[in-house]
Structure 1
Amino acid sequence: MTGQLPFPRHSARTQRFTLGAPRDFSLSPDGTRVVFLRSADGTDRSQRLWVLDPADGREFTAADPRALLAGADEELPPEERARRERSREGSAGIVGYAVDAAVELAAFALSGRLFVSELRAGTTRELRAAGPVVDPRPSPDGRRVAYVANGALRVVAVDGAGTGDASGDRALAEPDGPEVTWGLAEFVAAEEMGRHRGFWWSPESDRLLAARVDEAPVARWWIADPSHPDREPTEVRYPAAGTANAEVTLALFDLDGSRTDVRWDTACYPYLARVHWSAAGPPLLLVQTRDQRAQRYLTVDTDTGATTAVHEDEDEVWVEPFPGAPAWTSDGRLVRIADEGGARKLFVGDRPLTGEPLHVRAVLDIGTDDVLFSASGADMHDIGVYRAWFRGSGDQGGWERVGERPYPTVSSAVRGGELTVLTQASMERPGARSEVVRLDPDGGEKVLAVIGSHAETPGLTARPRLVLAGERRIPCAVLLPTGHQEGDGPLPVLLDPYGGPHGQRVVAAHNAHLTSQWFADQGFAVIVADGRGTPGRSPAWEKAVSRQVGPVALDDQVHALEALADSFPLDLGRVAIRGWSFGGYLAGLAALRRPDVFHAAVVGAPVTDLRLYDTHYQERYLGRPEEEPAAYALNSLVTDEGLSGAVEPHRPMLIVHGLADDNVVVAHSLRLSSALLAAGRPHEVLPLTGVTHMASQEQVAENLLLLQVEFLKRSLGIGQRSPAGGPRT
């Protein structure tokens, strides 16, 4: 019956068809275990910990959160709730875990309690720990687990031995101020830099490197729940553009609690973007200047805490941190990703291992003689896993694709020992397929096992046409109603972009286009356009938006629309746009600045007053507001001259925002609504009680789609009936 649900309900119930799919893989060095998370079925939000034996394909559950909690509801401490929001984690149960070097032991937190699983036996037990527990991580030797509780970094022995000595549960670092935490990532690190961790074990398991975060300088904001006026607002520390950031430093701790502070020029390089510590070399840091035009790679002397620069990147626009880099090869060479000669390349030492047409995205693993990485090719929508050799039989240079198929894919990989889990999505089938493969030393691979997926199959088929539009060759996906025939006449148009930094929408993955196809099936020609500023093409493409993010992004949406009108049945007299987050900002910008092109807009969780968004993101693209006020005025919605009524006509606008959003706070939409009202511009506002930036609650996610369609049809004068299965209450 579930497969017959209307798409909005089916998509919401399955979290866009991701529930039940395997994720978060770890592979044992001896090749006998693949560990992963997966919920029991395609509508179950509770993730379990699983183990697969690649030799015979046998899977078994190592930890079931419902059994461990004896059926009680999960209770999340505030720090864990914040971690999940920063990582956009909408599931429940075991949403993250960490393993020792041998992948014999896994540690995870449930309801603030600490659990460990013996992965060979598939047994799980609770460790007595000072809670609430956040981000537990075993030592490489599997003898201890470090975790954070109430801002303190603590260590507990896995065997439970000791009471207050070096083998028992004890604090290594405790807060020395009311706004200080040890071992957690600060807001901008987790939200913008992709660094979600705040402590790292030494390879020898005898020391920990931990971040000290002091949020005292950061402005206090308050997130209230207007539907419950009896409740106190939640206090958050939010570093808005131009204001103070948290102060972040590092220290080394021995297991007896002795401390060695790590020293670098934090005044010049305040951002700690990456930390890497492996047996191949000393701790490696990547630190950035506040304007993000320079970053340094530093090594740490573990005896003294002194740091030494081993490399520096500079760029007149901005520098970029990347997943998996920097790191060391086994023989101590620096692995990094950098922009050179107009391309984004993979380097080992000073030697580039890649060149055009590859656009490197992330380092996935470093072997004894090769690097596994992800990259886009000549087709930006085709994201593959590649390997490049830096010594041995492949030392002559070049690279090869792993798991190449006769069609484009969106691929990722995790490697451990001789085995790799390769996950590939494509336009050929819904969902993704995860295979355990053995990579041959000189190229090629052998499939050993397939990891089962319990994800549900969508009830509709996405049929995007992926094209390059106009002289700028803007990557686009065009979706027409299912069954639409040539000669049926022009269709009202819906632009459905994200359209900004960090968000690529035009990809060769079926499920990525499901919602756009559903909108198309309501009678629209839907266009998804990845203009300048979006990732995956070239450094110049991404950096073209510097100081003019909004105007450039909007101009490319218009350019794509006009170019596609020559090839597709588009009614340019009925054009709407919808979006969320940056896409919501772009939709609002379109309605206000180009009403000659756009006739209605759904503006979801938009950043409207750019001074209210965070430092690391906003200052990268616009500079500091006190130094470049003109850039903020040019790009902000609430300073738009169109609000005075100078730009006509007024276009219908539906503004949607979650009242519990701590990333793009609801003040953005309230200020936009106030400015629109003052300018005499009619508009609609839909506040979402208790909803964060993810808007992942089932009924909210379902009804948002239905209400958007109703608004768009009404605003464009489309007389068709509402989609099947109206909004639920």
Structure 2
Amino acid sequence: MNKLILIFFLLGNYAFAQTPEKTTLEISKKITLEDIYKNNTFRTNAVSGFRSMNDGKSYVSIETNPVSKERSIARRNYSDGKISEELFSESDLVYNDIKLPIGTDFSSDEKKVLIAYQSEPIYRHSTKAFYYVLDLQTKKISPVSDKKEKQMYATFSPDGSKVGFIRDNNLFYTDLSSGEEVQVTYDGKYNQIINGGTDWVYQEEFSFTSAFFWSPDSKQIAFYRFDETEVKEFSMTMFTGLYPTEYKFKYPKAGEKNSIISIHVYTLANKNTSTVDIGPEKDQYIPRVKWTQDSNILSVLRMNRHQNKLEYLLWNEKTQSTNTILTETDPYYIDINDDLTFLKDNKRFLITSEHNGYNHIYLYNIDGKLISQITKGNWEVTKLYGVNEETGNLYFQSTESSPLQRDIYSINLSGNKKEKISLSEGTNSATFSADFSYYILNYSSVNTPPYITLNNSKGIIRVLEDNHTSKKVSEEYGISPREFFNFTTSEGTALNGYMIKPANFKKDTKYPVLMFVYGGPGSQNVVNSWTHNYWFDYLAQNGYLIVCVDNRGTGFRGAEFKKMTYLELGKYETIDQIEAAKWLGEQSYVDKDRIGIWGWSYGGYMASLAITKGADVFKAAIAVAPVTNWRFYDSIYTERYMRTPQENPSGYDNNSPINSAEKLKGSFLLIHGTADDNVHFQNSVMFSEALINANKPFDQAYYPNKNHSINGGNTSLHLYTKMSDFVFNEL
């Protein structure tokens, strides 16, 4: 359920102040919902189109001619920002009267570009399109396939001579010199066999879609095969015509059958396909496959269904044998990441792991023997950027300064000479050049909107985007900074939170409160960054105190804090949100009889539990796209934290809002999209039935043919208007 963690990014990040200069704001302009969801009044600018080139000294970017408005792709020098070469423009992207979109998906040798035309979504993370290849020397454009069907996951081979892709659940590649299209697999079939792509649950929970991987020498392709024949289908009704249609897809729910996974390697020269030995167990996961620096050695990560045992396997193409080099176990569960890095000497590799209580970087030799723990401390490494093997330095992001902040560091492979290279307090992320001599730093803080700079080891070279206009607009509308706070619960747990005080705040006035919750495993909402969910500011201008608290189970405070909700999702999180509401009720400026709560996805689940189990504390709640019974949700996410319903029935039943429906006292608004392939509409339907059976009044809204994000067209404006009216009338 990585998307449940990510949904708060869809809603917006948050900016905070521990000690704002003033708590009373004079409003010069009044925020409207149209400002937020129609006019993009509060939009911030990003820097897009950057791609570091192989030399490490230049990058490509999307340029716009100020006169003709034609866009082009140009190579710029990191050192002075000057254009050294224009590689191609929109006028070069015309094929048989088709105007192709501009892009920067270069081949490894930087001589070709892959262009996706008429791209369309399948699920939330996968797309299909017609792919074309632009040869930068000749400006010739060639279709990846002459067939009239769209392709998926088109990818250059490392030498740039071929493009692999998926069509009709089968793996193909096209030889760009001859134009020959070669079919690798033949048994692909919708809702049965997938070759080279992932099934729905792998896309959502292991966060990858393309499931084929070229060897470093371009001579082999490793690929997944999903046999989802025994996985049960989920059916969604699509209300798009005179007679609604049924869309069916394979969706393994908690405790039900998963796809059977096998890994194969296809050799281009002899068209032979080998099967990688991943053991006899069929009911397991293969969350990652990656080639080592040796084109004959493939690494495979194997995980048991409980997700508390992770094994690192190396498969040798020459001997057709597999060796388990490293095994990691955890009393709760293990999170999967993309930090596995094989060094160029092919004798060592890096991983990150939280097996000592906090996520840190470890160096192993190729046989799986630990060489050293590179980073240490009661803080988390949140991203491993990579290694400059010439200097022996690696670069990472961490929470060492504070769980609420992110900083960038360098350290050598021996674990010495650690240096903080981001110097400003707040949230920092970096994008490094190919040789790590330059990096783009994206920084924001309570008083600074996204401030994007190009840097080298000596500091800032130039500012790429300062978002001065965004900050000015926020000031014009009287947007108040978020204020950090923390408190200790009756169980002795310290929790972090932020609040947005109403416009013209007065300490002797009692205000209604709307709490926002997400609260899912490993997530974080209370973090020091700039950008806002401006709906919160809209409500604050209308006299509401907005509060968010990160409960137990959220991330970046160590494994024990995060994993203590194991087998009991919802229980301790709800206790903490109720305690937060009670703490707020004790504050002199809070009307304890007018405290509400809302959330989306996992947050909708939390809001549903809060308004039922916390019925004496909360006056109103809004639940958008909530899980209402973990039995309805997918196998990988749910079982990671709950095991199966067969193993843990009480954990599922005791923390289901459906089973607490009779406790509802306050006002409740339940919202869902009918085409939600992630958290199914079934969740809200069954909760509605439980509330009806308990004779509990509530409001509900459904959005026809909308998915988990419930957006598109006028949808967001309508949704937030409905929620605003509910808040104004019921809280």
When normalised by structure 1's length, the TM-score is 0.84
Stretch deviating more after TM superposition (695-704 or 230-239) = 695-704
Query: Could you tell me which residue of structure 2 aligns to residue 508 of structure 1?
Result: 528
CA distance in 1, matches of 2:339, 2:36: 32
1:87-122 residue CA offsets vs partner (Å, 9 max, x unmatched): xxxxxx77x97443344433242222112356799x
1:366 to 376, 387, 399: 387
1:293-327 residue CA offsets vs partner (Å, 9 max, x unmatched): 10101112122443211111101111121232354
Say whether residues 1:569 and 2:569 are aligned partners: no
1:404 to 423, 429, 443: 423
Contact 1:286–1:326 at 8 Å: present in 2 too?
no
1:498 to 490, 513, 518: 518
Query: Could you tell me which residue of structure 2 aligns to residue 653 of structure 1?
Result: 668
CA distance in 1, matches of 2:628, 2:47: 37
Q: Counterpart of 1:511 in 2: which secondary structure?
A: coil
State the 1:629 CA deviation.
1.0
Residue type matched to 2:59 in 1?
Answer: V
1:474 to 488, 495, 499: 495
Q: Would the alpha carbon gap of residues 230 and 72 (structure 1) be closer, same or farther in structure 2, given more than 3 Å must change?
A: farther
CA distance in 1, matches of 2:315, 2:62: 34
CA distance in 2, matches of 1:397, 1:543: 30
Residue type matched to 1:371 in 2?
Answer: L
Query: Could you tell me which residue of structure 1 aligns to residue 274 of structure 2?
Result: 260
Query: Could you tell me which residue of structure 1 aligns to residue 214 of structure 2?
Result: 201
Q: Counterpart of 2:676 in 1: which secondary structure?
A: coil
Q: Counterpart of 2:645 in 1: which secondary structure?
A: coil
Query: Could you tell me which residue of structure 1 aligns to residue 131 of structure 2?
Result: 114
Contact 2:52–2:58 at 8 Å: present in 1 too?
yes
Q: Would the alpha carbon gap of residues 402 and 246 (structure 1) be closer, same or farther in structure 2, given more than 3 Å must change?
A: farther
State the 1:219 CA deviation.
0.7
1:312-356 residue CA offsets vs partner (Å, 9 max, x unmatched): 110111112123235446453121111243222111112111111
Contact 1:462–1:510 at 8 Å: present in 2 too?
no
Say whether residues 1:138 and 2:156 are aligned partners: yes
State the 1:530 CA deviation.
1.1
CA distance in 1, matches of 2:656, 2:65: 45
Stretch deviating more after TM superposition (363-372 or 16-25) = 16-25
Residues 78-93 of structure 1 mapped to structure 2, 5 A cutoff: none
Q: Would the alpha carbon gap of residues 565 and 572 (structure 1) be closer, same or farther in structure 2, given more than 3 Å must change?
A: closer
State the 1:151 CA deviation.
1.4
CA distance in 2, matches of 1:104, 1:513: 42
Residues 554-703 of structure 1 mapped to structure 2, 5 A cutoff: 554-564=574-584, 569-640=589-660, 643=661, 645=662, 647=663, 650-703=665-718
State the 1:242 CA deviation.
0.6
Query: Could you tell me which residue of structure 1 aligns to residue 374 of structure 2?
Result: 353
Contact 2:485–2:496 at 8 Å: present in 1 too?
yes
Residue type matched to 2:614 in 1?
Answer: R
Residues 372-387 of structure 1 mapped to structure 2, 5 A cutoff: 372-387=395-410
Contact 2:522–2:562 at 8 Å: present in 1 too?
no
2:81 to 42, 48, 57: 57
State the 1:286 CA deviation.
1.6
Q: Would the alpha carbon gap of residues 429 and 463 (structure 1) be closer, same or farther in structure 2, given more than 3 Å must change?
A: closer
Say whether residues 1:521 and 2:537 are aligned partners: no
Stretch deviating more after TM superposition (8-17 or 281-290) = 8-17
Residue type matched to 1:30 in 2?
Answer: D
Stretch deviating more after TM superposition (130-139 or 174-183) = 174-183
Contact 1:262–1:300 at 8 Å: present in 2 too?
yes
1:337 to 332, 342, 352: 352
Contact 1:22–1:37 at 8 Å: present in 2 too?
no
Stretch deviating more after TM superposition (316-325 or 96-105) = 96-105
State the 1:186 CA deviation.
2.1
- The alignment's C-alpha RMSD in Å is 3.4
Say whether residues 1:246 and 2:256 are aligned partners: no
CA distance in 2, matches of 1:293, 1:560: 32
CA distance in 1, matches of 2:466, 2:162: 33
Q: Counterpart of 2:470 in 1: which secondary structure?
A: coil
1:230-265 residue CA offsets vs partner (Å, 9 max, x unmatched): 242111110110111112221111224321111112
Q: Counterpart of 2:659 in 1: which secondary structure?
A: coil
Residue type matched to 2:268 in 1?
Answer: L
Query: Could you tell me which residue of structure 2 aligns to residue 28 of structure 1?
Result: 53
2:334 to 291, 314, 319: 319
CA distance in 1, matches of 2:432, 2:381: 16
CA distance in 1, matches of 2:60, 2:388: 20
Stretch deviating more after TM superposition (497-506 or 559-568) = 559-568
CA distance in 2, matches of 1:37, 1:222: 42
Residue type matched to 2:378 in 1?
Answer: P
State the 1:194 CA deviation.
2.1
Query: Could you tell me which residue of structure 2 aligns to residue 148 of structure 1?
Result: 166
State the 1:425 CA deviation.
3.4
Query: Could you tell me which residue of structure 2 aligns to residue 296 of structure 1?
Result: 311
Contact 2:521–2:563 at 8 Å: present in 1 too?
no
CA distance in 1, matches of 2:98, 2:110: 29
Query: Could you tell me which residue of structure 2 aligns to residue 174 of structure 1?
Result: 186
Query: Could you tell me which residue of structure 2 aligns to residue 274 of structure 1?
Result: 288
CA distance in 1, matches of 2:538, 2:251: 37
Contact 2:379–2:556 at 8 Å: present in 1 too?
no
Runs (5+) with no aligned partner, structure 1:
42-46, 75-92, 717-729
Q: Counterpart of 2:202 in 1: which secondary structure?
A: helix
Residue type matched to 1:224 in 2?
Answer: T
Residue type matched to 1:143 in 2?
Answer: S
Q: Would the alpha carbon gap of residues 37 and 495 (structure 1) be closer, same or farther in structure 2, given more than 3 Å must change?
A: farther
Identity of aligned residues (%): 21
Contact 2:568–2:642 at 8 Å: present in 1 too?
yes
CA distance in 2, matches of 1:429, 1:670: 43
1:145-200 residue CA offsets vs partner (Å, 9 max, x unmatched): 21112212221233xx325xxxx222222335552122112222221122333111
CA distance in 2, matches of 1:692, 1:65: 36
Query: Could you tell me which residue of structure 2 aligns to residue 711 of structure 1?
Result: 726
State the 1:671 CA deviation.
0.6
Residue type matched to 1:474 in 2?
Answer: L
Higher relative contact order at CA 8 Å, sep ≥6: structure 1 or structure 2? 2
Q: Counterpart of 1:416 in 2: which secondary structure?
A: coil
1:679-705 residue CA offsets vs partner (Å, 9 max, x unmatched): 101111111112111223142122222
Q: Would the alpha carbon gap of residues 525 and 73 (structure 1) be closer, same or farther in structure 2, given more than 3 Å must change?
A: farther
Q: Counterpart of 2:238 in 1: which secondary structure?
A: coil
Aligned length: 669
Stretch deviating more after TM superposition (461-470 or 615-624) = 461-470
Say whether residues 1:533 and 2:550 are aligned partners: no
Q: Would the alpha carbon gap of residues 48 and 255 (structure 1) be closer, same or farther in structure 2, given more than 3 Å must change?
A: farther
When normalised by structure 2's length, the TM-score is 0.84
Q: Would the alpha carbon gap of residues 201 and 512 (structure 1) be closer, same or farther in structure 2, given more than 3 Å must change?
A: farther
1:287 to 285, 302, 305: 302
CA distance in 2, matches of 1:456, 1:127: 42
